[in-house]
Chain A
Amino acid sequence: MPSATVNNHRPSELLSRLASSEPEVKLRALREVKNQIIGNRTKKLSFLKLGAVPAVAGILADSADDVIDCNNNNCNVNNNINNILVQSAAALGSFACGFDAGVQAVLDAGAFPNLLRLLSNSNEKVVDAGARALRMIYQSKLAPKYDFLQQKNMEFLISLLNSENENVSGLGASIITNSCETSLEQKALFDAGILRRLNSLLECGSLSQKDASLESLASIFKNNSEVVSKFAGPEIERPLGSIIDLLKDRYPRTRLLACMCLIVIRSTSPNLLQDIGIKSKLIHILIELLDDPGQVGDEAPFAFSSLIAQKEDLQKLALEANAIDKLHHHLQKGSLHPRRYEGILLALADMCSKLESCRSKFLSLQVLNLVTDALTVDSADVRTAACICLKSVTRSIKNLSAGYFINEMVVVPLVQLFLDPSTSVQVAALGAISNVVVDFTTHKCIFVQCGGMKQLVQLATSMESAVRSNALWALKNFVFLADNRLKESVFSELTASLLSSLICDPEPSVQEQALALVRNLVDGCINSVEFMFAEDGLILGAIGRQLQSTVKAEIGIQGMYALCNVASGNEFHKEAVMHQLFPQMVDKNQSFMINFLQSNDSQLRTATVWTIVNLTCRSSPGAFGRLVKLRNAGIVSQIKNMVNDPCVDVKVIKFMFWSFFFIFFFTFLINLISIFVEQLRVRTVLGQSMAFGDN
């Protein structure tokens, strides 16, 4: 039988004791609530649902008022009140610790201003408890934003940071970490001399003060090279020395935060911390921190990712430091915490994002099997990370062409994720499949057989624009250099009406991918050009409308290349393209072609030039007429200006001029001949008539 004491601990029973008028009973109940919820997420949630937070916040508010009422009256009474204040603040702090629903409840219950009042209490323990609870609140994004730009707020913040009590100064640092976002705020904090104070906390503060100031320094530095350069300026004897020293700190968390702070500085000011020594130090420390069994080890791979992302030199160094082996080793251990699992997969993704040497290492260690295992785990974040990792590894053209990835082990679980309840998983899975389906002519049937293609088409109609866009992306890659039969099956699944409506999607990224899909569909044999003329040229019309109205270069590029491919067809196709480029009811505005040719985007200029090349190809009979139209629209003279364009291939322009020349020359020749023939006929007629006359 469960004992009576267990029943006594039941949340509902405890709550009724909180409402007791007896201070002793109330205090004991408060303490018990606190002890039950600390470290226990499930308990926090069940107390939350029962409305414990407003009850505790109410006790705090009442007692905080009482302190003022009976100031200097009765020491005993005040002692009791202080105990209640400490316990209620500790309980509220625990509700808010690492638990956003708890933070929200504490804020909703109006406890925030009362906790602030505790900071001016004369009892050190009360101040401590209040500061700790506020610190917990400020560790959440839900905390009220602190306005540094107000003078009195800045003064209060400085007083917090200067406090001897480490929870109070820690609160100051947490406020900065939480609320400092804009460069104006960063500058204001710098001007107020906050950095000096934080730096001194780094050098001689306690463990928690060091950690807190490392975090707030990172938020003051983030993306603000001006502040960084002032902080690391020449007037300081050893720039950033205090932070670099903490890389050797004995506490793993401090080492991690020091790494993170230096990574922020590195990415903010690319001229700082670039020597090889600090780079490899950061890499080694972060790899070593992976071994930490707790939260530090969970966060270390994320910091590692931010260090090496987009940076080939660091990825190379990390490869030499056996980063992939280490990450693989951790992945092999199994039963990973989801956060760590996700981080390790993302770190592997960043490692393999650029360098083929990293990808070969990844494949030679057979990490791929472990990553595909991760596609089916419970946590959506882990599944997403596994997809991102696959996307990164499958950039390896060498292994793609060898058909290394297009097998059931990779494709089937990825296709299953197309229907994942989480959008981010769907998007990531589509991203990975986009790479997997590129350029493998013999194995594409696996993807069709497992229903992947049909699902992609369905996802192209998803409510989520990111899903639509990525589904189109995958289809685009799927039909890239595919044979006509495959293209036909994709097209009949998609239909002209769906495709044209996707071209006119409200979301620009979807428009771009739809146009790119058309571009790849039409690429190649002439039969595929006919797709554009299904349902009375619905698609072609949509492309034309989109090109007329778009302001985005990316959309222009894909649209022009689509038209360019259509224009590679027969005379009828070319004329249809002309019709889109120069619609009947031309208004006074200049053709969008001129804008494209004058665009800052070299790819758009190139795409437009290629379209013109295909339209005026000298072997086609209608070229002259089209050339005249182009000249009348001012396009030929615009192209003449582009001879010195460094981005557009000069050969293309020269080729075009030769085309123009030939067309004009032959037209001239034909005219000459026709005049000559005419004259000859006249002469013959004259001669004949004369002969008749003679007769």
Chain B
Amino acid sequence: MPPFWIVIRQLVEIEEQMATSKKVITREEWEKRLNDVKIRKEDMNKLVMNFLVTEGYVEAAEKFRMESGTEPDIDLATITDRMAVKKAVQCGNVEDAIEKVNDLNPEILDTNPQLFFHLQQQRLIELIRNGKVEEALEFAQEELAPRGEENQSFLEELERTVALLAFEDVSNCPVGELMDISQRLKTASEVNAAILTSQSHEKDPKLPSLLKMLIWAQNQLDEKATYPRINDLSNATLEDPTV
């Protein structure tokens, strides 16, 4: 029945057209729509404060508090303490960092065996870095070996760390990454996260996840429309839509 086939073909063509032709939104249209979105100033300020607090920029947070009147959701003094701990680990003063954490809240290391082990491991690494072989061995035996007995995965990590002692050139050995500065940063961020958690605070600032959501939403939208996209996140410039 020819008329029937004609109808079907027409329908299919319309469908195809709809699928291929994306909606185009011009810059003016887009900006007009953006202008209609209202975001409260206080919310923006809170977002900034959250970033400063979580990342530990205490002076900036203090200034921002005075200028914008935004109250941080945490005692700013604790940020100073937290940053001092973080910095101590980053500089390799692990023992100092442990004492500071314990002053801040003795529960953190008492209830977090993994973090405690990693700090002790970092201490061992620093002893090896400073060439204190005998002290390192004694420390590994007295402080770390009992932790290895309690936990198999600790034992494996301990073995890897002690292996450092077997090499002449530690930075070029199979376990050399332990000596790297990134290991310190890893441990430091672990302590930082644990302190934040103990203060009922998120481990990560909200701003990065907001940006992630922006990118995700743009990717979703790309399938349906052409619009002024933000590619340069740091300047948030709108690109002209490519038709």
Please list the residues of chain A having a beta carbon within 8 angstroms of any beta carbon in chain B: 1-3, 6, 31, 34-35, 38-42, 90, 93-94, 97-98, 132, 136, 206-208, 250-251, 293-295, 335-337
**Residues in B whose Cβ lies below 8 Å from that of A250:** 202
Query: Which positions in B face A, CB cutoff 8 Å?
Result: 98-99, 102, 106-107, 109-114, 116, 134-135, 138, 143, 146, 150-153, 156, 197-198, 200, 202
Q: Is the CB of A97 within 8 A of B135?
A: no
Contact of A39 among B113, B197, B198 (CB under 8 A): B113
Across the interface, do B102 and A337 meet the contact criterion of CB distance under 8 Å?
no
On whether A6 and B138 interact (CB within 8 A), knowing A39-B116, A94-B106, A97-B107, the answer reads: yes
- State in angstroms the CA–CA spacing of A154 and B106 once bound together: 29
Specify which of B151, B156, B200, B202 lies most central, judged by the most chain A CB atoms within 10 Å of its CB: B200
Query: Which of A90, A251, A295 makes the CB contact (< 8 A) with B106?
Result: A90
Contact assessment for B200 and A39 in the assembled complex, using a CB-CB cutoff below 8 Å: no
| Chain B residue at minimum C-beta to C-beta distance from A294 | B114
User: Is A294 in contact with B112, judged by CB distance below 8 angstroms?
Assistant: yes
Q: List 30 A-B contacts (CB under 8 A).
A: A1-B134, A2-B134, A2-B138, A3-B135, A6-B138, A31-B99, A34-B106, A35-B99, A38-B102, A38-B106, A38-B110, A38-B116, A39-B112, A40-B116, A41-B150, A90-B102, A93-B106, A94-B106, A98-B110, A132-B106, A132-B107, A136-B107, A207-B200, A208-B198, A208-B200, A251-B197, A293-B114, A294-B113, A335-B153, A335-B156
Which residue of the partner chain A has the closest CB to B105? A132
How distant is the Cα of A42 from the Cα of B150 in the complex, in angstroms? 10
Closest to B139 in A: A6
For residue B121, give the distance in angstroms from its CB to the closest CB of chain A: 13
Closest-CB distance, A277 to chain B (whole angstroms):
27
Contacts of A34 in B (CB 8 A): 102, 106
Chain A residues with CB below 8 A from B111, complex form? 97-98, 295
Q: Nearest chain A CB to B218's CB is how many angstroms away? A: 25
In angstroms, Cα B135 to Cα A6, docked, is 9
Neighbouring A residues of B202 by C-beta, 8 Å: 250
Q: Which residue of B lies closest to A99 (CB)?
A: B110
Chain B residues closer than 8 Å to A39, beta-carbon distance: 109-110, 112-113, 116
- A575 to chain B minimum Cβ distance, whole angstroms, is 66
Chain B residues in 8 Å Cβ range of A94: 106, 110
Q: A38 and B109 in contact (CB under 8 A), knowing A6-B138, A250-B202? A: yes
A35-B98 contact given A6-B138, A40-B143, CB 8 Å threshold: yes
CA distance A251 to B152 in the complex (A): 25
Minimal beta-carbon separation of B127 from chain A (angstroms): 11
With the chains together, A34 CA to B135 CA distance in Å?
22
The chain B residue with its CB closest to the CB of A37 is B110
Least CB distance from A189 to B in Å reads 25
User: A98-B111, A208-B200 are known contacts. Are A41 and B146 too (CB-CB below 8 A)?
Assistant: yes
Query: What residues of chain B lie closer than 8 Å to A251, measured between beta carbons?
Result: 197
Q: How far is the CA of A345 from the CA of B112 in the complex (A)?
A: 25
Give 9 new A-B contacts, CB below 8 A, not counting A3-B135, A6-B135, A34-B102.
A38-B106, A39-B110, A39-B116, A40-B116, A42-B146, A208-B198, A295-B111, A335-B153, A336-B152
Shortest distance from the beta carbon of A627 to any chain B beta carbon, whole Å: 71
Q: Which of B106, B143, B200 contacts A206 (CB 8 A)?
A: B200
Give CA–CA (A34, B116) in the complex, Å.
Answer: 14
Q: Which residue of A lies closest to B116 (CB)?
A: A39
Please give me the residue from chain A that is nearest to B100 by CB atom.
Answer: A35
Instruction: Point out the residues of chain B lying under 8 angstroms from A98, CB to CB.
Output: 110-111
Q: Give every chain B residue within 8 A of A208 (Cβ-Cβ).
A: 198, 200
Residues of A within 8 A of B113 (CB): 39, 294
Distance A93 CA – B108 CA, assembled complex (angstroms): 12
Q: Which residue of B lies closest to A166 (CB)?
A: B200
Shortest distance in angstroms between A583's beta carbon and chain B's nearest beta carbon? 63
Nearest-CB residue, chain B, relative to A1: B134
In angstroms, how far is the closest chain B Cβ from the Cβ of A52?
A: 16
The listed residue (A2, A31, A335, A336) touching B135 by CB distance below 8 A is A2
Name the residue on B nearest A209 (C-beta): B200
A207 and B102 contacting across the interface, CB-CB below 8 Å: no
Interface contact A97-B110, CB-CB below 8 Å: yes
How distant is B202 from chain A, measured CB to nearest CB, in Å?
7
List of 9 A-B pairs having minimum Cβ-Cβ separation, nearest first: A335-B152, A39-B116, A207-B200, A206-B200, A39-B109, A42-B146, A97-B110, A90-B106, A38-B109
Which residues from chain B contact A336 at a C-beta distance below 8 Å?
152
- Which residues does chain B contribute within 8 Å of A132, judged by CB atoms? 106-107
- In chain B, what residue has the closest Cβ to A3? B135
Q: Which residues of A contact B109 (CB under 8 A)?
A: 38-39
> In the complex the two chains form, what is the Cα distance from A59 to B198 in whole Å?
28
Docked complex Cα distance between A40 and B115 (Å): 12
The docked-state distance in angstroms from the alpha carbon of A2 to that of B127 is: 12
A176 → B minimal CB distance (Å): 19
Q: Which residues of A contact B110 (CB under 8 A)?
A: 38-39, 94, 97-98
- Minimal Cβ-Cβ distance residue in B for A44: B110
Closest chain A residue, CB of each to CB of B117: A39
Q: Inside 8 A of A1's CB, which chain B residues have their CB? A: 134
A337→B151 contact, CB < 8 A: yes
For residue B132, which residue of chain A has the nearest CB? Answer: A3
Neighbouring A residues of B151 by C-beta, 8 Å:
337
Smallest CB gap from A210: residue in B: B200
Nearest B residue to A135 by beta-carbon distance? Answer: B107
A161: min CB distance to chain B, Å: 17
Q: Chain A CB within 10 Å — which of B102, B116, B134, B135 has the most?
A: B102
- Complex: A336 Cα to B153 Cα, angstroms: 8
Most buried by B among A6, A38, A42, A94: A38
Q: How many Å lie between the Cα of A43 and that of B123 in the bound state?
A: 17
Complex Cα distance, B99 from A90, in Å, reads 12
Residues of A within 8 A of B135 (CB): 2-3, 6
Is B153 a contact of A35 with CB atoms below 8 Å?
A: no
Shortest Cβ distance from A93 into chain B, in angstroms? 6
Contact indicator A35/B138 (Cβ below 8 Å) = no
Asked if A207 and B106 make an inter-chain contact with CB atoms under 8 angstroms apart, the answer reads no
Minimum Cβ distance to chain A for residue B163 (Å): 18
* Interchain CA distance A40-B98 in the complex, whole Å: 12
CA distance A295 to B98 in the complex (A): 21
Most buried by B among A40, A93, A94, A250: A40
CA distance A1 to B97 in the complex (A): 25
B contact residues around A295 at 8 Å (CB): 111
Q: How far is the CB of B39 from chain A (nearest CB, A)?
A: 24
A682 to chain B, nearest CB (A): 100
Closest to A206 in B: B200
Whole-angstrom distance between the Cβ of B118 and the nearest chain A Cβ = 11
Whether A207 and B98, one on each chain, are in contact in the complex, defined by CB atoms closer than 8 angstroms, is no
Cβ contacts under 8 Å, B107 to chain A: 93, 97, 132, 136
| A39 to B143 Cα, complex, angstroms | 11
Q: Nearest chain A CB to B70's CB is how many angstroms away?
A: 20
CA A207 – CA B196 in complex, angstroms?
Answer: 11
Which chain B residues lie closer than 8 Å to A35 at the CB level?
98-99, 102
List residues of chain A with CB within 8 A of the CB of B99: 31, 35
A250 to B201 CA separation, bound complex (whole angstroms):
11
Which residues of chain B have C-beta atoms less than 8 A from A42's C-beta?
146
Rounded to whole Å, the gap between the CB of A288 and the closest CB of chain B is 19
* Distance in angstroms between the alpha carbons of A3 and B139 in the assembled complex: 12
Q: Which chain A residues border B146 with CB–CB below 8 Å?
A: 40-42
